[in-house]
Chains A and B, each alone.
Chain A
Amino acid sequence: MPASPSVRSAVRQGISVGLATGAYGVSFGALSVASGLDVWQTCVLSLLMFTGGSQFAFIGVIGGGGAGAAATATAALLGIRNSLYGLQMASLLRAHGLRRFAAAQVTIDESTAVALAQDDPPAQRAGFWAAGLGVFVFWNLTTLAGALLGDVLGDPARWGLDGAAAAAFLALLWPRLAQRQAQAIGAVAAVVAAVVIPIAPAGIPVLAAAAVTAAIAWWQYREPPHVRGTT
Chain B
Amino acid sequence: MSLWGWVLLAAVICLVIKVAGYLVPSEVLENRRVAHTAAMVTCGLLAALVVTQTFAAGSALVLDARVAAIAVAAVALWLRAPFIVVVLLGALAAAGVRALGWG
Q: Which A residues have a C-beta under 8 Å from some C-beta of B?
A: 20-21, 23-24, 26-27, 36-37, 41, 44-45, 48-51, 53-54, 56-58, 60, 62, 64-65, 68-69, 71-72, 74-87, 89-91, 100-101, 103-105, 107, 157-174, 176-177, 181-182, 185-190, 192-194, 197-202, 205-206, 208-210, 212-214, 216-218, 221, 223, 227, 231
* Distance of B93 from chain A, by nearest CB (Å): 6
Instruction: Tell me which residues across on chain A come within 8 A of B10, comparing CB atoms.
Output: 45, 49, 54, 58, 71-72, 75-76
Q: How far is the CB of A137 from chain B (nearest CB, A)?
A: 17
A211 to B62, CA, bound (A): 24
Nearest CB of chain B from residue A156's CB, rounded to whole Å:
10
Shortest Cβ distance from A192 into B: residue: B48
Known interface pairs A107-B18, A164-B88, A202-B52; 4 further A-B residue pairs with C-beta atoms within 8 A, sorted by A's residue number: A20-B82, A48-B8, A54-B10, A160-B90
Interface size on B, residues (CB 8 A): 77
Please name the residue on chain B nearest to A93 by beta carbon.
Answer: B22
- A62 — nearest CB in chain B belongs to which residue? B3
Instruction: Return B7 CB to nearest CB of chain A, in Å.
Output: 5
Is there an interface contact between B91 and A206, defined as CB atoms closer than 8 Å?
A: no
Chain B interface (Cβ < 8 Å from any Cβ of A) = 1, 3-15, 17-22, 24, 26, 29-30, 32-33, 35-56, 58-61, 65-66, 68-70, 72-74, 76-77, 82-84, 86-96, 98
Asked if B43 contacts A186 (CB within 8 A), the reply is yes
Classify the interface of chain A: helix, strand, loop or mixed: helix
The answer to whether A223 touches B6 (Cβ under 8 A) is no
A and B contact pairs by CB, cutoff 8 A, 10 listed:
A41-B3, A62-B6, A82-B17, A107-B21, A160-B90, A170-B73, A173-B50, A186-B44, A202-B52, A210-B45
> Contact between B46 and A217 (Cβ–Cβ < 8 Å)?
no
CA distance A109 to B82 in the complex (A): 16
Q: Are A77 and B21 in contact (CB under 8 A)?
A: no
Complex CA gap A158/B95 in Å reads: 6
Which residue in B29, B40, B73 is a CB contact (below 8 Å) of A166? B73
Q: Check A163–B59 contact: CB distance below 8 A.
A: no
Cα distance A72–B35 in the bound complex, in angstroms: 22
Considering the chains assembled together, what is the distance between the CA atoms of A193 and B49 in angstroms? 8
User: Hey, which chain A residues are within 8 Å of B9, CB to CB?
Assistant: 72
Q: Which residues of A contact B83 (CB under 8 A)?
A: 20-21, 23-24, 168, 171
Alpha-carbon separation in the docked complex, A50 to B15 (Å): 8
Query: B13 and A72: CB pair below 8 A?
Result: yes
Interface residue from A86, A101, A172 paired with B20 (Cβ < 8 Å) = A86
B52 surroundings in chain A (CB, below 8 A): 60, 64, 193, 197, 202, 205-206
CB distance A37 to B7 under 8 Å?
yes
